[in-house]
Chains A and B, each alone.
Chain A
Amino acid sequence: MSTDNKPATSTAEASRAFAVTVSAAIFAIAVMVGLLGFVVMPVLEGQTTGLDSFTAICRAFGIGIPAEQNARSSKPSAPASSTAWDSATRNDVRRGDAAAGAALAQDTCAACHMPNGLSADPASVPSTTGLSARAIYKQLHDMKRGERVNEAMKGMLDELTDQNLTDLAAYYSRLPRRNHDIRAYNEVTPNAVVLATKGDVSRALPACEACHNPTAGGPLEVPALTGQYPAYIVTQLQAYAAGTRKNDLYGRMRRIAGKLTPAEIAAYYDAPRP
């Protein structure tokens, strides 16, 4: 017992001895852990599956996995869509010139998409009001690149530059929105409302609104559905389900549409025309 009862640090020699002992102990433990994890366990496990020790140890390190490489396809991989939301693209879309777009739309689009954005033929041509500039740009860009097949528009898109596309997107996205609350239509089946607002957990179907709602935080390019013509929605869902429309990134819509029954697709947003 020291007289002043004040705690003290050990002498230099004692401290050094302590450090050396502890270091040796940690070192020994670390080596043992390494042996266990990389030698003992893999070799023992490997024996039960017929792996020789060397292969087993290599695999434990992550070398030589998978044991047989999958044959590489020589086909170049084709992305679902080459529209990338990098900051340059997002800025270009934001800076689209609506006036230039209006003139261009009058010349090239008006025959099918009326100047107010509604359709000249609701049975086949969609409405382009209420869509965000990003949604419009994405579809135009994909159609131009042939990633979304649209025979009606392909020819004219070949003539248009990227700048033209952003201008058109700016024009159509600034048209007054034509929103129709689906719940206002009593012809809508209750099941469709449930699918749109709640989804169906038993089929792992998310609510359509989880993405198709401008404030939901869904993918940037998600198109608005309210205000869209029922016939168009139905053909698009059928096209996704059949895989003939496949420009949706990650196959998001293909997977969802594939889970809907034909009756559900037919009932979808099956509202009277505005």
Chain B
Amino acid sequence: MGYVLTTFFIMGFGYFVAESALRQPLPAPRLAWLGFILGIVGTVMVVATVLTGHASVMFTFYPPLTASPIFYLGLVLVVVGSWIWCVLMLVAMMRWKRANPGQPVPLAMYATAANAVLWLWTTIGVAVELLFVVIPAAFGWTQTVDVGLTRTLFSWTLHAIVYFWLIPAYIAFYTIAPQAAGGRLFSDLMARASFILFLLCGLPVGLHHLFMDPEHSTGFKSIQMILTVLVAVPTLLTVFTVTASMETAGRLRGGKGLFGWIGALPWERPMVLATGLSFFMLWFGGFGGLINMSYGMNAMVHNTSWVSAHFHMIFGGSVVIMYFAIAYHIWPSLAGRAAPSVALQRIQLWLWAVGMMVMSMPWHWLGLNGQVRRVAQFDYADPSMSWWTPWMAVSLAGGFVLVVSAALFIWNLVSFHVERSAGVYPAPVKYATALHPDQPVPAALNGFALWNVFVLILMAAAYSYPIAQFFILNPPQAVVHRVDR
């Protein structure tokens, strides 16, 4: 799920943005299809090995466990497919810049390209881990694995990958939601700055997933913790800018007073509703994240359900609900017809938000009380755990609501194509214009050269010794444990 749903969604949305925001055809659509096919083939390989029990190693692989090589090769194909996407996004942006000298790249495209750059950096860690350590072990060419090294390389990817998933939601916040609400984007420059800050602060922070690991020193963990704190800057920038944009919309629609504009917003529109629900969950997820990333407090919640609750809330909740809304927003122009039922779309979004809250709130609480995660089964007869049972039942109920919502989402998209009654939808998707559209954009915020240099410097500072130490100190290796039979 984590790899596949997100990667395909982001690729599809990126291609859509590249065509609709730049108003030019995609460069090399054949290559785009090739990337798509690679992704599909890779997914089939991954799913087949997982379902047949040849790849019970889960999302982060847990070396020295080794699954069937087909599983890892499938993942590599998915990643290679997404690299094609990255290159196409950057080429599309460059072509547009060449054709429109002196003009800033439209924000939606700039942010998509920022995500492509981020993803190229992000995947280096996991690609090196797979190609040089895990796949050789899976083929039986090597018999031992340095677990510390593989964990470190995966951590390189592990935080930035969630920003790769998150950025499309932010693109919708900045460029689609204000338009859908009938307002303007409060500041185009601020939006650009926050995407760049995500690029800078998203990468050199992965060690915050290894706070409790013994293989790294406190200093590197500390600096990566502080850099993680800096992520609060673009997040708060976004909260501010998007709220301000929404406020303009509310006031344009006649909202008065300190909070009157909130009620005046067109909540019946799925994009606006989703943005509101997403922001709501963002508070809880963000708060949980602040606890996780604090070196000290992390010890308290390490490997408990709290962590699962956090990433379900922020990814499954805040981010995925925006994926839904984006799909609803762009589907009419893809299908050429209006939505058969906006009410069903609203119900689906509500169900998703409520289900996600109901499912993950009990996990937060149980996690604080010591419920560990990644466990197949608990002994609920044990007196120290028996009181968890009702909480787990609540959480399960939330899970059922999510299943219903997911099914409804699929129906909502399918119904575009089966319910012929709906009217034709001629208007192309529009992106929000800035409140002050004539504000000049500095060249640095219209490209990525400068920022790539900084990513390189920061990554070198944050990761060079933590990786190099495995070759300097030559620590003991773990014997490969094959689970593929």
Chain A residues close to B by CB (< 8 Å)? 1-2, 5-12, 14-15, 18-19, 22-23, 26, 29-30, 33-34, 36-38, 41-42, 45, 57, 59-63, 65, 84-88, 90, 200-202, 214-220, 249-250
Question: With A36-B226, A85-B143, A87-B140 in contact, is A201–B378 under 8 Å at CB?
Answer: yes
A35 nearest CB neighbor, chain B only: B223
Q: Is the CB of A36 within 8 A of B223?
A: yes
The answer to whether the Cβ of B482 comes within 8 Å of any Cβ in the partner chain is yes
A59 to B297, CA, bound (A): 21
Q: Is the CB–CB distance between B481 and A219 below 8 Å?
A: yes
Check if B438 sits within 8 Å of A2, measured CB to CB.
Answer: yes
Cα A45 to Cα B454 in complex, Å, equals: 30
The residue in chain A whose Cβ has the minimal distance to the Cβ of B453 is A23
Beta-carbon contact of B465 and A7 below 8 Å: no
B440/A8 in contact, CB under 8 A: yes
Residues 441-485 of chain B: 1 if any A CB is under 8 Å from the residue's CB, otherwise 0?
Answer: 111111000100010011001000110010000000001111111
CB distance from A6 to the nearest CB of B (A): 7
| Complex Cα gap A59–B103 (Å) | 51
Interface hit among B6-14, B26-34, B151-159, B214-222: B214-222
Please report the C-alpha to C-alpha distance between residue A218 and residue B377 in the assembled complex, in whole angstroms.
Answer: 18
Q: Chain A residues with Cβ under 8 A from B469's Cβ?
A: 62
Q: Point out which of A61, A62, A84 has the most chain B C-beta atoms below 10 A from its C-beta.
A: A62
Extra 11 A-B pairs, beta carbons < 8 Å, given A7-B434, A45-B218: A9-B103, A14-B440, A14-B442, A18-B442, A19-B443, A26-B200, A34-B461, A36-B222, A86-B140, A217-B53, A217-B54
Contact across chains for A217 and B479 when beta carbons are under 8 A apart: no
Closest residue on chain B to residue A80 by CB atoms:
B479
Q: Which residues of A contact B457 (CB under 8 A)?
A: 30
Q: Which of B141, B382, B444, B485 contacts A202 (CB 8 A)?
A: B382
Q: Are the CB atoms of B438 and A220 closer together than 8 Å?
A: no
Cβ–Cβ < 8 Å partners of A38 in chain B:
219, 222-223
Choose from A8, A217, A218 the contact partner of B438 (Cβ within 8 Å).
A8
Most chain B CB atoms below 10 A, which of A33, A88, A219: A33
- Evaluate contact between B450 and A19: CB separation under 8 angstroms: yes
**Interface flag for B188 (CB, 8 Å):** yes
CA distance A22 to B192 in the complex (A): 14
CA distance A106 to B466 in the complex (A): 58
- Say which residue of A60, A200, A217 sits within 8 Å of B218 (CB atoms): A60
B426 interface residue (CB < 8 Å to A): no
Set of chain A residues within 8 Å of B377, measured between Cβ atoms? 201
**Are A26 and B217 in contact, with the CB atoms below 8 A?**
no
A residues in contact with B421, CB < 8 Å: none
Q: Is the CB of A33 within 8 A of B217?
A: no
Do residues B444 and A34 form an inter-chain contact, with CB atoms below 8 A? Answer: no
Q: How far is the CA of A18 from the CA of B193 in the complex (A)?
A: 12
Tell which of A8, A90, A219 has the most Cβ of chain B within 10 Å: A8
Residues in chain A near residue B461, CB distance under 8 A: 30, 34
Q: With the chains together, A122 CA to B311 CA distance in Å?
A: 55
Q: Which residues of A contact B382 (CB under 8 A)?
A: 201-202
Q: Which 7 A-B pairs have the closest CB atoms?
A: A60-B219, A62-B217, A87-B140, A37-B223, A37-B222, A15-B443, A18-B442
Interface residues on B, range: 35 or more
The CA of A11 and the CA of B479, in the complex, are separated in Å by: 60
Q: How many A-B residue pairs have CB under 8 A?
A: 142
A90–B218 alpha-carbon span in the complex (Å): 42
Residues of A within 8 A of B141 (CB): 86-87
Scoring A6, A202, A217, A250 by chain B CB atoms within 10 A of each residue's CB, the highest score goes to: A217
In the complex, A233 Cα to B263 Cα: how many Å? 72
Query: A5 contacts B438, CB within 8 Å?
Result: yes
- Complex contact B220–A37 (CB within 8 A): yes
Cβ contact within 8 Å between A9 and B446? yes
A86 touches B143 (CB 8 A): yes
Min CB gap A37→B, angstroms:
4
- B197-208: contact bitstring with A at CB < 8 Å (1 yes, 0 no)? 000100000000
* A18 contact set on B, CB distance < 8 A: 442-445
Determine the distance from Cα of A19 to Cα of B445 in the docked complex, in whole angstroms.
9
Q: Which residue of B is nearest A87, CB measured? A: B140
* Central interface residue in B103, B188, B226, by most chain A CB within 10 Å: B226
Kindly identify which residue among B103, B216, B437, B485 contacts A62, using a CB–CB cutoff of 8 Å: B216
Are B217 and A59 closer than 8 Å at their CB atoms? Answer: yes
Q: In the complex, which residues of chain A have a beta carbon less than 8 angstroms from the beta carbon of B139? A: 87
Query: How close is A204's CB to chain B, nearest CB, in angstroms?
Result: 10
Q: Which residues of B contact A214 (CB under 8 A)?
A: 485
- Given known pairs A8-B104, A85-B140, the reply for A59 and B218 (CB within 8 Å) is yes
A9/B444 in contact, CB under 8 A: no
Distance in angstroms between the alpha carbons of A90 and B139 in the assembled complex: 11
Asked whether, in the complex, the Cβ of A219 is within 8 Å of the Cβ of B223, the reply is no
Q: What separation, in Å, do the CA atoms of A84 and B450 have in the docked complex?
A: 49
B357 to chain A, nearest CB (A): 29
Chain B residues, Cβ within 8 Å of A22? 444, 450
- When A84-B143, A215-B53, A219-B481 are in contact, do A10 and B440 touch as well, CB less than 8 Å? yes
Q: Which of B373-393 contact A (CB under 8 A)?
A: 377-379, 382
Chain A residues lying within 8 Å of B216, measured Cβ to Cβ, are 62
Supposing A62-B217, A86-B141, A86-B143 touch, asked if A7 and B223 sit within 8 A by C-beta, the answer is: no
Closest chain B CB from A222 CB (angstroms): 9
- 1/0 per residue, CB under 8 A from A, across B47-85: the answer is 000000110100000000000000000000000000000
Docked-complex contact A10 and B443, CB < 8 angstroms: yes
Are A19 and B217 closer than 8 Å at their CB atoms?
no
Asked if B440 and A220 sit within 8 Å, CB to CB, the answer is no
Q: Is there a chain A Cβ closer than 8 Å to B327's Cβ? A: no
Partner of A90, one of B53, B140, B438, B466: B140
CB distance from B109 to the nearest CB of A (A): 13
A207 to chain B, nearest CB (A): 10
Question: Hey, which chain B residues are within 8 Å of A8, CB to CB?
Answer: 102-104, 438, 440-441
Of B140, B378, B450, B483, the most chain A CB neighbours within 10 A belong to B140
Docked CA distance A5–B438 (Å):
6
Known A-B contacts A7-B104, A37-B226, A59-B218; the reply to A220 vs B485 at CB < 8 A is: yes
Select from chain B the residue with minimum beta-carbon distance to A216. Answer: B53
